[in-house]
Chains A and B, each alone.
Chain A
């Protein structure tokens, strides 16, 4: 089955659009001082709300980047480095 150029472009656009995903945690983190429910003396789970907010969004950054990797980067010509060995030659 062949894929039409229009469909291919559409898939490519959707794949590229996923690159915007990591912007969400970035915005959430930078807005922290101005979100009244975050910048508050109230404790969440026994610790300051700001701690939980920053930690959660930092932990979500890998999730967004993994999504980008799966949806966009794997189609790139440099998707692999040529060897599955994680350690490389550092000795």
Chain B
């Protein structure tokens, strides 16, 4: 992550090293610097969003109103979602793409470095706008992150700040996505054809297309909200001939691809880590690529499963039910491929592998509850209960967030040249895995029994599950400090951690990023590398790669 201690490597480099001081970070167009900035920004947002979730869990520890007023509670649920989705998960994946995509496809930087800088530096302003609403008259937005009218139109002074913050986040995501697509399609090293790219690159390519397709739709939807409130239009105002349900359709046309934007890069990370520690080539590379593309396509035709209870014609409910269930097929292909990759592998369980395995297991639980929610008749019971909360937190926290943590453990030795502490990494994993299940598993039961989401109080019968859930949430939050210290120690060389790792940090790892020194020099692949067969076997189960695990 930190580069100020890598100058030594550049002394004998032909290129200029990074500038000194704060201006380096403001002016930088280097993909590694920007990746680092994105990741630090994302972890700051994870911290802020995490604090908000603790306010929610503290209030829900026992029934009745304890700590906060209902209005503030609603602000917390809304802001927690916006901060975690747009400030945490998405920038973290963009940060990983910044660092790894150029190094994986063998090019020197992203195609549009200045746009990359711009894309990042929009984000602090976007979240400055959004977080400033906490201190305004009427408070922060409290109508839910889905911004349904007419409720959201009752937001006070915070409303335009919310809209413009969403606009800025959208612009940042779109610039990042365009950059990734242009880089991947134009700047691959000779010999790296599309179906030889590492899966992380593939999943990010497809994610980037999803971003380009749906972020503008969200921008349009919130613009309509803005004009409805201030300029007398009636897109969603019933008294003027508009229809509030229309907003839900437009929002979820964005929203469903959005949830895959937050999980496809995670698939890529897990598909990279499991082969490394199973010491085998990834099973079914081609099917992984096609499964990812299928999931991306299906994400565009299932949006209305978020609104089964809104009063749709039966034919519509049936279509969206079956289309949603269809997604289980390509997702199942992926899960079975990961399991098959491990089959008869020489597995070891370093921290990145533990998080990747935790991902496969816990994400699948979230997938199953998703299948339950897809069944229209039972969704009428589950809708807007804690069952839904449990479902999407299972796919987002032990899903997306575990994959981000796994990726950081996996590549931090390459970024900093220093190995993280394996013991504390494992402690971090087990505490995280236990506490996250403690947090979200009981919410399934509370939800099935009828506990509503987004309400600061609940019936006493739900108390036991909520106590467990709150204990889990505080435990999970505390456990993340182990991770932060472990990672910062690699960045800054605390506890006497020394550089001096080999280029191929993990002996089972393949791919171009492991052919450059550790830490990775400020500039890599100024001249396109020769892609060797040995690196390609990393991602391919074809050719003679079935013996690939013997390469190590």
A binds B: no
